[in-house]
Structure 1
Amino acid sequence: MTYFMKLRWHDDRFLRSDSVDPDNNYITVYGTDSDWTKLWLPDIFMVNEIPAGIFDVVPTDFIRIYENGTLTISRRHVALFYCAIRLFKVPMTDEICPIQFQSNSYTVDEMDLVWFGGSSIVYSVDFFSMNSKVTSTDTSKCSGGASTAKERRPCLKLDLNISQVYKGFVIQVYLPGGAIVIMLWLGFFIHLNEVSARVRVVSIGFTAMITQMVGVMIVFPDTVQLEPLLVWNTFCLCMNLIAFIEFIVVHNMYITRELWKKQNKEIIVSSPRITQVQPINDATDDATAPTKRPPYRITPYRMDKICMVLFMFTFLIFNVAYWSTFMLA
């Protein structure tokens, strides 16, 4: 985040009693001037800053010294900071990101920090990322983080009210994952003996899911560990695995049944529900004769259709549980 911090304090050493307009007359000292190092500057830092994530651009720093003893400094910062958010709810709900500014060496008895009156925080309307947007801000004072009053530092708190932009998550996460699961479901309509086609559907689904997860890591590097996204991506990967295991089992049933058909002649009588099985070699010994019953009570085609219904039913049940848990909890 890039921001400008404007500080104002009073120093009696710069007070001029002979000034005509002390509230408006001032001199400007820039960061490149030699007198810059002779001035006292507030040692304000961001508490929840990530180390080495902030730096000052000195040419933009300047101090205005008014003749009434007031000094103001405007300093540009580029900071990388962290927020304590609820990973179980994000990205389903809005969050509040607190930012604390605190003095490094002065206690509350030596210095006090207060927000400017009126609009203390001014931010751009374009202050948003692809998946979140700052809608409003709240300012307050904080304790300073010390256990005793003598060690407590002056502290100011800024709350960023962040609203989630669902469009990015829907396009990058939920639509691709749902489309992959539906593609796997459509693969059930391919005949069992089309091994290449069924395997390609599962392979394409698995590859697309991995590619989609990597794309999310690139586009949303700060949201990879969010629990709702982890649950969704994990479920879609499991559906890929289930579809592949189902095809292996059903195809094995199909091959076994085809081998059984080669060993036995099926004579289907016109009378309904009557099937007579005639062995190929009547002289074959009973111990070595091929079985007259099919190897499975249920045909592989019927098993495949049942799995197809259960596959989509599982996906629908998961969606009901998923959205009710993360949206309504």
Structure 2
Amino acid sequence: MTYFMKLRWQDDRFIRSDSIDPENNYITLYGTDSDWTKLWLPDIFMVNEIPAGIFDVVPTDFIRIYENGTLTISRRHVALFYCSIRLFKVPMTDEICPIQFQSNSYTVDEMELFWFEGISIVYSDDFFSMNSKVTRTETSKCSGGASMAKERRPCLKLELNIHQVYKGFVLQVYLPGGAIVIMLWLGFFIHLNEVSARVRVVSIGFTAMITQMVGVMIVFPDTVQLQPLLVWNIFCLCMNLLAFIEFIVVHNMYITRERWKKQNKEIKVSRPRMTQIQPVNDDTEDSKAQTKRSPYCITPYRMDKICMVLFILTFIIFNVVYWSTFMLV
């Protein structure tokens, strides 16, 4: 977030009693001037800033010194900050993101902070991202975070009312995850002996799912509890693993059955022609070999079709439970 912080304080040493218009006459002192270091500056910082998250793009600091002793400073910052908000309900509801500004060196007995009267916060109408948009702001004072009164710091709190744009979550999480599961389901239509094709489908789905989960972790702050997104991603990843395990089992059944067919065919071809002098025991053994049963009571093709139906039914049932659960929370 890029923002301008404007501070104003009173210093009686700059009062000019002979000024004609002390409230409007001022001089400007920039951060590159040599006298900049001789001025006292408020040490205000953002409490919930991410470490090393604030940096000045260019030296934009300047101070206006009015002849009535009022000093104002304006600073341009590019800030990275975090908010402890809970995104559990789907669709995502509005949340409040508190931002605290606090003094680093001075206590409440030495310094006191106030918001400007009237409009303290001004933000642009396009202050939004793909997933959220700031609708309004609220300002107040805070305690300063210390347990002892003598150690409390002057503190101001800004609350951003954030409206979650559900379209962003659909495009970034739900649509890719659902497409991956559908792609895995379509992989069931590939023949069992097409090992490379089935494995390629599963590997592509697994790689895409891991990439999406990492992307969600990068896009959203670590402090935000995204239970719906985590549940969705974990389920899609489990469906990917189940599709891979199912193919391994069914393909092994297919190989075993084909081997059994080949062995049974060789036994039938190599069985000697029955004559009158053939022993009864040999005829009995050949008869048993001929009537040898299949190692599985169900064919691998039928097993694959059953798993295909169960796969898509599991996905449908999960969606019904998922959306009904998180929308009713």
Q: Which residue of 2 aligns with 1:78?
A: 78
Equivalent pair of 1:23/1:66 in contact (CA under 8 Å): yes
Greater Cα offset, 164-173 or 83-92: 83-92
Rate the CA distance shift 1:225–1:290 in 2: closer, same or farther, 3 A: farther
Distance 1:90 1:96 in 2: 16
Equivalent pair of 2:90/2:327 in contact (CA under 8 Å): no
Amino acid at match of 2:30: Y
Q: Which residue of 2 aligns with 1:54?
A: 54
Distance 1:255 1:58 in 2: 68
Distance 2:130 2:77 in 1: 22
Amino acid at match of 1:54: I
1:82-140 deviation line (CA, Å, top 9, x unaligned): 22223655993433221111122222222211111121111122223333222221111
Q: Which residue of 2 aligns with 1:139?
A: 139
Q: Which residue of 2 aligns with 1:301?
A: 301
Q: How many residues align?
A: 316
Equivalent pair of 2:92/2:165 in contact (CA under 8 Å): no
Greater Cα offset, 199-208 or 279-288: 279-288
Equivalent pair of 2:8/2:72 in contact (CA under 8 Å): yes
Rate the CA distance shift 1:215–1:145 in 2: closer, same or farther, 3 A: closer
Q: Which residue of 2 aligns with 1:42?
A: 42
Runs of 5+ unmatched residues, structure 1: 266-278
Amino acid at match of 1:104: N
CA displacement at 1:188 relative to structure 2: 1.8
What is the correspondence of 1:72-111 to structure 2 with a 5 Å cutoff? Answer: 72-86=72-86, 88=88, 92-111=92-111
Rate the CA distance shift 1:37–1:262 in 2: closer, same or farther, 3 A: closer
> Alignment identity in percent?
87
Q: Which residue of 1 aligns with 2:317?
A: 317
Q: Which residue of 1 aligns with 2:65?
A: 65
Distance 1:48 1:94 in 2: 20
Q: Which residue of 2 aligns with 1:149?
A: 149
Equivalent pair of 1:138/1:158 in contact (CA under 8 Å): yes
Runs of 5+ unmatched residues, structure 2: 273-281
TM-score under structure 1 length normalisation = 0.83
Q: Which residue of 1 aligns with 2:249?
A: 249
Rate the CA distance shift 1:117–1:249 in 2: closer, same or farther, 3 A: same
Distance 1:172 1:121 in 2: 31
Equivalent pair of 1:106/1:153 in contact (CA under 8 Å): yes
Distance 2:95 2:208 in 1: 31
Rate the CA distance shift 1:57–1:170 in 2: closer, same or farther, 3 A: closer
Q: Which residue of 1 aligns with 2:277?
A: none
Distance 2:247 2:298 in 1: 15
Rate the CA distance shift 1:327–1:146 in 2: closer, same or farther, 3 A: same
CA displacement at 1:176 relative to structure 2: 1.8
Distance 2:250 2:127 in 1: 54
The structure carrying a bigger helix percent of its residues is: 2
CA displacement at 1:284 relative to structure 2: 4.2
CA displacement at 1:150 relative to structure 2: 2.2
CA displacement at 1:10 relative to structure 2: 1.8
Equivalent pair of 2:86/2:225 in contact (CA under 8 Å): no
Distance 1:11 1:102 in 2: 20
TM-score under structure 2 length normalisation = 0.83
Q: Which residue of 2 aligns with 1:283?
A: 283
Equivalent pair of 1:91/1:226 in contact (CA under 8 Å): no
* Bigger relative contact order, structure 1 or 2 (CA pairs below 8 A, ≥6 apart): 2
Equivalent pair of 1:63/1:73 in contact (CA under 8 Å): yes
CA displacement at 1:233 relative to structure 2: 2.3
Distance 1:150 1:207 in 2: 55
CA displacement at 1:177 relative to structure 2: 1.6
Q: Which residue of 1 aligns with 2:10?
A: 10
Distance 2:211 2:56 in 1: 39
Equivalent pair of 1:32/1:58 in contact (CA under 8 Å): no
1:54-74 deviation line (CA, Å, top 9, x unaligned): 245674222222222222111
Equivalent pair of 2:47/2:101 in contact (CA under 8 Å): yes
1:14-43 deviation line (CA, Å, top 9, x unaligned): 233333222222222222223323322222
Cα RMSD for the two superposed structures? 3.1
Amino acid at match of 1:303: M
Rate the CA distance shift 1:101–1:74 in 2: closer, same or farther, 3 A: same
Greater Cα offset, 97-106 or 50-59: 50-59
Rate the CA distance shift 1:7–1:141 in 2: closer, same or farther, 3 A: same
Q: Which residue of 2 aligns with 1:27?
A: 27
SS where residue 160 of structure 1 aligns?
strand
CA displacement at 1:195 relative to structure 2: 3.2
SS where residue 285 of structure 2 aligns?
coil
